[in-house]
Amino acid sequence: MARADPSAGTTTDTASREPDQWRLCYVVGDLEHYTEWTSEFPTIENYYDQYRRGDYAHDVVIERRAVVER
């Protein structure tokens, strides 16, 4: 019979050792665009401010990459 909880010898550390990562999502016309993931939040924040104030993009959102553990 299979067990639901893994034994102590088979567990692995799956938590990310990477710093938080961010990207910008924005829409131009009907197309959704994304920047690359980066750990440099000030860079993404700067892009967000520029795109939000510009006339060509809308629905500008900063996204954070999350680590999901099972």
Give the domain ranges of the chain: 19-56
Name every residue whose Cβ is closer than 8 Å to that of residue 69 and which is 6 or more positions away in sequence: 14, 15
pLDDT tens, residue by residue, 36-68? 999 999 999 999 999 999 888 999 999 999 877
Closest CA to 32 of 60, 63, 64: 60
- What pLDDT sits at residue 61? 95
At 13 the three-state DSSP class reads: coil
- Give the H or E element holding residue 42: helix 41-53
pLDDT confidence band for 17 (50 / 70 / 90): low
Model pLDDT, residue 69: 75
Residue-wise pLDDT for 5-15, tens only, equals: 555 555 444 54
| Cα 18 from Cα 67, distance rounded (Å) | 10
